[in-house]
Structure 1
Amino acid sequence: MAFRKRNVALARSPAESPATESPSSPASHPVPAPPSPGTRPSPIDGRPTTSTGSPSLDCILAGHAGLPLGNSILIGESGTTDYAGALLRFYAAEGVVQGHRVHVVGMGEVWGRELPGIAEEKDKRREGKERAEKMKIAWRYEGLGAHGSSRERGAVGSPATSTGDAVGEAAVFCHTFDLARRLSLPVGSAIDYIPIPRTAGSPFVEILKNLQKQIAKSPPSSIHRLVIPSLMSPALYPPGASHPAAVLPFLHGLRALLRSYPTRLTAVMTLPLTLYPRSSGVVRWMEILSDGVFELSPFPYSHMESLATSAGTTKDEERPQGMFAVHKLPVFHERGGGGSTEGLGEDLAFTLSRRKFVVAKFSLPPLEGDTEAQGAAVREATGNAMPRKQDLEF
């Protein structure tokens, strides 16, 4: 009886050549190319997706956990606030960090220098890992584990640890940005500023030609992001840009360009709904020609003040700043729309903080006199959702 270790793989003999392999052998199959930086396959149908810079917004995109390449998003906002502009900055900053080519229409270099920087979370992650390791070891063996920790877990500056951290950082799909910090743009910045021509005709023709030229001369593996802030705004565009004969052919051409490059191009646009309401015909056609349509409705100041002084709110609870409506989702077909899209039929609200844009379910705070509802809200916010004594009695 031959004694041989079962966990040792058998090596191929030198005499065996690759020509003698059968077509069904694993070595004969081509190895799939790795995905481009900042992209990953969709869990629904495997199509490549990229992050919008906001994890909560990625989660509601029809279950694809990101924006599918070759699609566009139109974000409308009513009022004089600029929450949609913060979403555009997250989207552009994510593209710059991932090495994508970012095209900004109608804005100059000042807009690019105001992109948020990456938040510093290394210390918090290290503290969380140390706390988790301490919880795994019993308190009476903590000293023993610390005595042999350098030999068992490896030193902090060991090559294995640094390599693992580098791989983890390179595989980040969506970064966390800080609006109080500024993103340091690399040398030869990947931001392309497309000016709006002041011509008598439609300004969108030159914009579309410029975008198509930039994509055509770039490498086939490059990913492009198109950012269009305040589409048809009179402060940026000439008066004729808001005419349906000018903006609708542009969206037709952009849609054709997205379909021509289904694995290389995405687009996010914002629209001031105060100037162009959704009841107008041109806006309805713009929504039809866009793959995803969202609407931001910020709360008035008096309503936000009442939410802040409500008895049901706590210090750590994030108060919503407006309503978030989903009118249309990209690639919403029979295989999409499941998974993470649970609760889209309910009312959604958004909260813009210093480091993130959060979309969550909206619920009104309890009334002042309803002590039972106030206690339940406080317990839910603090994570201590223990049942009451009378609820446990049969």
Structure 2
Amino acid sequence: MDSTKNESNTEKVVKSRVLSIPGTKPNVQNAQLLISTGIPSLDLLIGGGLAVGTVMLIEDDAYGCYGDVFLKYFLAEGVASKQTLYVASKDIRTTKLVSELPALINDEDIENETKDKNKDIKMSIAWRYQHLSTTEQKKLTFSHYYDLSKTMDQSFLKDTVIHHWDNEKLINNTPPNTFSNPIYHELLQDIKNVLKKFEFETNAKPEKRTILRVALHSLGSPFWIPIPPPNETIRPISRNRDLDMFMFCLKALMRSAYAVAVITVPTGMITEDCMARCVHNVDTAIRLETFMGTPNEKNPALSDYNGFLNLTKLPSINTVEQIQPASLDLAFKLRRKKFVIEKLHLPPELAESRQREQDDSTPSFGCGSFSKQSKLDF
């Protein structure tokens, strides 16, 4: 009884200290505000969600197939939570990326689908949630569910504040010595201006507080290298150095604002040393390894999955130790309607058992006679 009272008291203290912002929830362990990535299975792996004021790095696969899916879920969750979006890309039009966000699934659709699948099966609910009313259960909802086969209704997007950045024309071709690439400098300046103008900074006092979701698509790709205008030159660019320095500066901006940044990086175009520095400069890092074009593509044991998911770095905010997930053997699979991250489950090795049966049936050639009944055979 004492332990349950202490837990309830700590939850009340945390809720009293943390602001009530739509689409967020407090972490009871460290009093940190969390937002959802849009993928519930990923939220559980990284400690309940993304902490406000942090940066998440997604090392995309070699073909760039699945990093966009993570980014679309992240943006779609911002639309569903009525939060502000900031989208930047040089590979594709940001308007096209936003127009392809997955459709939101209503709670009624989820309930109907669950009833159809479980007509004869009684759903098992955790004992502590069995006696909650329907209104109390709705309060526990943190993230939403989406249908990848459909696009989000435009009426939702009209009610969402979205800042697009593609920077077709360079404003300043001679940035400070911090960056050799002027695009990174201007992107940081634009994010900083949005944080200040729309009062996302921690020292600001807006009438209604919300969260800014910063989505940077395929950062570090060749499209981020500027093309010099006619009769003008741009000093030599060190793409690897600029990338990790940009993430270091972006992390400093996020720390002093009610914002969260998610970055996708094409792994095959970045050196290993640069990627290691980038992982060091962010709070959470995930690496995707697709089976496409590898021997695992034809492996029958992995036929249910599309690739491995590696947790390269887990956050440690307001705490000494990092989050320890239940398992690090993770895989992801992309279906027509949803994207799921699961613990890797391999089928039993039938070939090994068959080999053992064959070994047992063959005569043993140990010391002594060749008879199976010999006591010297071993």
TM-score greater than 0.5 by the shorter chain: yes
Counterpart secondary structure, 2:69: helix
> Displacement of 1:190 after TM fit?
1.9
CA contact (8 A) 1:38 1:172 kept: no
Corresponding residue number in structure 2 for 1:82: 65
Q: What one-letter code is carried by the residue in structure 2 that aligns with 1:327?
A: T
Corresponding residue number in structure 2 for 1:295: 287
Corresponding residue number in structure 2 for 1:206: 186
Corresponding residue number in structure 2 for 1:6: none
Counterpart secondary structure, 2:70: helix
Corresponding residue number in structure 2 for 1:255: 251
Q: What one-letter code is carried by the residue in structure 1 that aligns with 2:223?
A: A
Corresponding residue number in structure 2 for 1:180: 149
Corresponding residue number in structure 2 for 1:226: 214
TM norm structure 2 = 0.69
Q: Does 1:36 find its partner at 2:16?
A: no
Q: What one-letter code is carried by the residue in structure 2 that aligns with 1:36?
A: I
> Displacement of 1:331 after TM fit?
1.9
Between the aligned partners of 1:289 and 1:321, the Cα distance in structure 2 is 28
Q: What does the per-residue CA deviation read over 1:78-112, in whole Å, with 9 as the maximum and x for residues that have no partner?
A: 32142111000000100111011110112421111
Q: What does the per-residue CA deviation read over 1:111-139, in whole Å, with 9 as the maximum and x for residues that have no partner?
A: 11100111355244147579999989xxx
Structure 1 residues 127, 254: CA separation in 2 closer, same or farther (over 3 Å shift)?
closer
Structure 1 residues 354, 210: CA separation in 2 closer, same or farther (over 3 Å shift)?
same
Q: Does 1:101 find its partner at 2:84?
A: yes
> Displacement of 1:253 after TM fit?
2.0
Between the aligned partners of 1:33 and 1:231, the Cα distance in structure 2 is 33
Q: What one-letter code is carried by the residue in structure 1 that aligns with 2:152?
A: L
Identify which range, 110-119 or 250-259, moves more after superposition. Answer: 250-259
Structure 1 residues 32, 251: CA separation in 2 closer, same or farther (over 3 Å shift)?
closer
Corresponding residue number in structure 2 for 1:52: 37
Q: What does the per-residue CA deviation read over 1:194-214, in whole Å, with 9 as the maximum and x for residues that have no partner?
A: 123543341122211211221
Between the aligned partners of 2:120 and 2:349, the Cα distance in structure 1 is 42
Corresponding residue number in structure 2 for 1:376: none
Counterpart secondary structure, 1:342: coil
> Displacement of 1:70 after TM fit?
0.6
Q: What does the per-residue CA deviation read over 1:199-240, in whole Å, with 9 as the maximum and x for residues that have no partner?
A: 334112221121122122225412001101111111344376
Corresponding residue number in structure 1 for 2:102: 116
Superposed counterparts of 1:14-29, under 5 Å: none
> Displacement of 1:181 after TM fit?
1.0
Identity of aligned residues (%): 26
CA contact (8 A) 1:44 1:336 kept: no
In structure 1, the gaps of 5 or more residues are 1-29, 137-160, 373-394
CA contact (8 A) 2:219 2:265 kept: yes
CA contact (8 A) 1:197 1:206 kept: no
Between the aligned partners of 1:172 and 1:81, the Cα distance in structure 2 is 31
Q: What does the per-residue CA deviation read over 1:274-311, in whole Å, with 9 as the maximum and x for residues that have no partner?
A: 1114x23x22221111111110010135756534xx4x
Between the aligned partners of 1:33 and 1:284, the Cα distance in structure 2 is 34
Structure 1 residues 47, 366: CA separation in 2 closer, same or farther (over 3 Å shift)?
same
Q: What does the per-residue CA deviation read over 1:141-171, in whole Å, with 9 as the maximum and x for residues that have no partner?
A: xxxxxxxxxxxxxxxxxxxx9xx66x86676
Q: What one-letter code is carried by the residue in structure 2 that aligns with 1:352?
A: L
Corresponding residue number in structure 2 for 1:154: none
TM norm structure 1 = 0.67
Corresponding residue number in structure 2 for 1:342: 326
Corresponding residue number in structure 2 for 1:274: 268
Corresponding residue number in structure 1 for 2:178: none
CA contact (8 A) 2:183 2:224 kept: no
Query: What RMSD over aligned residues (CA atoms) do the two structures have, in Å?
Result: 3.3
Between the aligned partners of 1:343 and 1:204, the Cα distance in structure 2 is 37
Q: What one-letter code is carried by the residue in structure 1 that aligns with 2:142?
A: F
